[in-house]
Structure 1
Amino acid sequence: MSIRGYRDARVVGVDDGRFKKRKGGGEKTLLVAALFRGRTLEDVRISEVTVDGLDSTDSIRDVLRGLDFDFLLLSGATFAGFNVVDAHKLYELLGKPVIIVIGEKPRDHAVKEALKKHFGDWERRWGLMESLKPMFTVETDPGHNPIYYEVVGLDPGEASELLKACTFQGRLPEPLRIAGMIAKGLTSPKGSQPTQIH
């Protein structure tokens, strides 16, 4: 598909909101899906996901139910802390390519150590993250740092073209930028600084 074709694609981005951890667990935060066709925001869906839980895959599937889209962009492989998504399962369930986008270079060693320290099932969570390798980079905003991405169900080169085609402002693809802005804005404490997503 050409860049022009990708610009007309229906792309949905999913990001999570802010949260506070409390003793006893079970907290939830918002999960926001923003659907774009080209530069037009066509739909927004809002759901919840459990902090440090294991329901992110099901929560993403549920929030996307009934949406007509071509590609799914996820803001990282974890939601609400260390609620790790199974991107391969999502691809099987939805039949749509899944691209995991990360704004900064991941610190794999630090993540693995944190999982070991806090989760008895750390090997399962780490395994889901490792299954996404290899990681690729693309410069979506010329002259600025690249973004990092992993992909399931699509050629990495095609994923790179898609990410460039749906980035209009800053480094992040617009569906993720707007999903993040909505999610963070709705979960920010009153009186806090305005949310800025780059």
Structure 2
Amino acid sequence: MRLPPLPRVAGFDDAPFTKRPGARVPLVGVVCAGTRFEGLVWGRVRKDGWTATDEVCRLLVGGKFLPQLHLVLLDGIAFGGFNVVDLPRLAGTLGKPCVSVMRRLPDLEAMERALRHLPRPERRLELLKRAGPIHQLGGFTFQVQGAEPAWVAEALKRLTDRGNVPEALRLAHLIGSAVITGESSKRA
């Protein structure tokens, strides 16, 4: 697949949320062409629930943005705690490469310990494994379904203004924080 000079991307991140079980968690999707903001979608998932994959699909399928996108980025593989995204199903449903971007290599043992305190931990672990291997390329850490890792690393480079967070994910984080708390957070 050939990468255009300004890839169009939707980047999803959750906003700050209440820690109580079953809390509604805001989900922010920012659409960018390269590093330029072009649009926004807003949804909700449940803390530690099961609807993250369906909600991202609901926000994009049938909307004006999906046909324009070259890939979909997620800030991590789960929203609202451990509402884990089924990355292969997301990529298959959207017909676009889907990428879980991480700031650093995750502590998989700590994640598994935390998952053991939630309902259906084996199913959550299965979803984590289905996301595929974790790649570290071009200064980025990610999992991908629907594209080659080298292509994704090049796309992430074009989508990042500075550091190792693509602009769509950085903006989703800042917007979610500002809407929920009244100001954007320090770390984006």
- TM-score past 0.5 threshold: yes
- 5 Å-filtered alignment, 1:21-100, equals 21-22=19-20, 25-65=21-61, 66=63, 67=65, 68-100=68-100
Q: Aligned match of 1:159 in 152, 167, 170?
A: 152
> What is the CA distance between 1:138 and its match in structure 2?
2.9
Q: Tell me, what secondary structure is at the counterpart of 1:181?
A: helix
Contact 2:140 2:153 (8 Å CA) reproduced:
no
Q: Quote the sequence identity (%).
A: 33
Q: Deviation digits for residues 35-65 of structure 1, max 9, x if unmatched?
A: 1112321111111111110000011111123
Q: Which runs of 4+ in 1 moved over 3 A?
A: none
Q: Tell me, what secondary structure is at the counterpart of 2:91?
A: helix
Q: Tell me, what secondary structure is at the counterpart of 2:153?
A: helix
> What is the CA distance between 1:194 and its match in structure 2?
4.2
Contact 1:33 1:64 (8 Å CA) reproduced:
no
One-letter amino acid of the counterpart of residue 101, structure 1: V
CA distance in structure 1 between the aligned counterparts of 2:147 and 2:128, rounded to whole angstroms: 18
In the alignment, is residue 127 of structure 1 matched against residue 126 of structure 2? yes
Pick which of 149-158 and 40-49 moved more: 40-49
Q: Tell me, what secondary structure is at the counterpart of 1:187?
A: helix
Contact 1:100 1:149 (8 Å CA) reproduced:
yes
- Counterpart of 1:168 in structure 2 is 161
CA distance in structure 2 between the aligned counterparts of 1:35 and 1:44, rounded to whole angstroms: 6
Q: Aligned match of 2:18 in 7, 20, 26?
A: 20
Contact 1:133 1:150 (8 Å CA) reproduced:
yes
> What is the CA distance between 1:26 and its match in structure 2?
2.5
One-letter amino acid of the counterpart of residue 89, structure 1: R
Q: Deviation digits for residues 97-150 of structure 1, max 9, x if unmatched?
A: 00110002200000001111x1230000011101123111134xxxxxx33101
Q: Tell me, what secondary structure is at the counterpart of 1:21?
A: coil
Contact 1:6 1:166 (8 Å CA) reproduced:
no
Q: Tell me, what secondary structure is at the counterpart of 2:178?
A: helix
Q: Tell me, what secondary structure is at the counterpart of 1:89?
A: helix
- Counterpart of 1:182 in structure 2 is 175
- Counterpart of 2:8 in structure 1 is 10
Contact 2:9 2:71 (8 Å CA) reproduced:
yes
5+ residue gaps, structure 2? none
Shift in CA distance, 74/194, structure 1 to aligned 2, threshold 3 Å: closer
- Counterpart of 1:138 in structure 2 is 137
